[in-house]
Amino acid sequence: MRFLFKTAYEDDIKLFPHSGYVVSYGILLALLLIAPFVLSSYLMSQLVFVCIYATVGVALLILTGFTGQASLGHAAFLAIGAYTAAYLQKYNVPFPVYFLAAGALSGLIGAMVGFPALRLTGIYLVIATISFALIVEEILARWESVTHGNEGMRVKALSLLGVPVPRDSPTFYFLCLAVLVLTIVGTLNLLRSPTGRAFVAIRDSETAARSMGVNVALYKVKSFAISAAITGFAGVLFAHKLSFISPEMFTLQLSIEFIIVILIGGTFSLHGAVLGAIFIVMIDPFLTYLKDDMPGMIAGIAATFGAGPATAGNIQSKVAAFASLNGLKGAIYGIIIVLFVLFEPLGLYGRWLKIKLFFQLFPLYKRATFKRQKIYVKSERNR
């Protein structure tokens, strides 16, 4: 086990508490940098999606994880970013300009959504953000002069300094990776400065935050704006990666996927956003694989237990019909959320920390270490 001896105030501010972190993150970065020259183009494409989802995950963590304001409307911010990019691209606006414009517009709208949120908490806020997402979806479908309605919009390959960057090139991957890394570093900076601490204060006790001089309304709006702006940036990359956008891509299901990213990754640390993004991007091909192979597999098992070819064929078609049911994916997502909330509320990153502690303390690890702490009664909460 490593003991940290702090000898300067600087030690509490550092991003990397000790050299071990520098080494492990350095190795990770090196692996990510050589990835495009080693991995197959399919995996590279998945990795780009991981970067985009993780960026949105970090944005959602700022709002939901650290400020405590739940949102099921982040697909709308992603859409605003994506459509801004597609629209401005038609007028030959250069990439850096429309990239920034998409973030700024999304952030502005995020701040506007933040104002009604000042009076709403918990489930009511969730409902309000869902309604916002539905409104945006509807606008995208109806405002045909700008968005081309349900026909959708083509997004040309982005060009950086006059050089076109195709969506499956290593350069595009590096761009997504850079956006993710910059987002994470910026967020970490924010969290170790007064604004980030004000966010956490609002999450844990608005009354106490207010009496410590935090302008709760202002910081909630700030949190919404920052979160929406980052999601807007991610939206630009998302549009370029898909090269075609239409309103039905930015549905409630996408917002739920973003919530899954942080719930499954872990809501208390930025690691959670990345782990959750890997999970959500990788579960889709896994489900497709199951859908294709399960019927045959189950029929095979039935056959070994003595079912005739007719019965086996019957089973195979029944299972195949079940696997291709509409909405099965949503149901599986729902089950995953429920299981995580019940059994691993700290998410994948929380699980990783427990595993790490188990080996650090071996053989002294107690299961009670992570038992819920006694919570003292709060009777007179001034809301």
Does residue number 360 form part of the binding site for other proteins (CB under 8 A)? no
Among 220, 222, 241, 271, binds other proteins (CB under 8 A): 222
- Identified binder of other proteins from the candidate list 86, 209, 239, 315, rule CB under 8 A: 209
Backbone torsions φ then ψ of 154, nearest 5 degrees = -80, 145
Region of 21-29, 147-155, 284-292, 374-382 interacting with other proteins (CB under 8 A): 374-382
Closer by beta carbon to other proteins, 192 or else 291:
192
- What tokens were used for 245? 């956008």
Residue 196 lies near other proteins (rule: CB under 8 A): yes
Pattern 173-192, binding to other proteins, x per CB under 8 A? -------------x--xx-x
C-alpha–C-alpha distance, residues 11 and 59, integer Å: 27
112: how many CB neighbours lie within 10 A of its CB?
Answer: 14
| Both tokens assigned to 104 | 């700024």
368 touching other proteins, by CB under 8 A: no
State the Cα–Cα distance between residues 154 and 86, nearest whole angstrom. Answer: 7
In the list 168, 170, 210, 353, the residue contacting other proteins (rule: CB under 8 A) is: 210
Contact flag: residue 353 with other proteins (CB under 8 A): no
Q: Which helix (H) or strand (E) holds 374?
A: none
- Length of the chain equals 383
Does 207 help bind other proteins (rule: CB under 8 A)? yes
Does residue 163 touch other proteins according to CB under 8 A? Answer: no
167: contact with other proteins by CB under 8 A: no
C-alpha distance from residue 334 to each of 159, 250, 253, 257, 340 (Å): 39, 18, 11, 10, 10
Among 61, 58, 67, 112, smallest CA distance to 223 is for: 67
Point out which span in 117-125, 154-162, 197-205, 353-361 binds other proteins (CB under 8 A).
197-205
**C-beta closer to other proteins: residue 37 or 376:** 376
Residues 243-282, mask of contacts with other proteins (x by CB under 8 A): -------------------------x--------------
Near other proteins by CB under 8 A: residue from 76, 198, 280, 315:
198
Of 135-143, 199-207, 322-330, 334-342, the window that binds other proteins (rule: CB under 8 A) is 199-207
The rounded distance, in Å, linking the Cα atoms of 291 and 305 is: 22
1 lies in the binding site for other proteins (CB under 8 A): no
- CB 67, min distance to other proteins, A: 12
Question: What token pair was written down for 8?
Answer: 């300067």
Main-chain phi, psi angles of 269, to 5 degrees: -150, 150
> Locate tokens 């949120």: which residue?
117
In this structure, are residues 259 and 129 in contact, taking their beta carbons and an 8 Å threshold? no
Q: Among residues 3, 5, 9, 91, which is the contact residue for other proteins, using CB under 8 A?
A: 9
Please tell me what DSSP assigns to residue 251. S
The three-state secondary structure class of 225 is helix
C-alpha 149: how far from its chain's center? 27
* Residue 134 makes contact with other proteins by CB under 8 A: no
Amino acid at 316: Q
| Sites of contact with other proteins (CB under 8 A) | 9-10, 12-13, 186, 189-190, 192-198, 200-201, 203-205, 207-216, 222, 226, 268, 373, 375-382
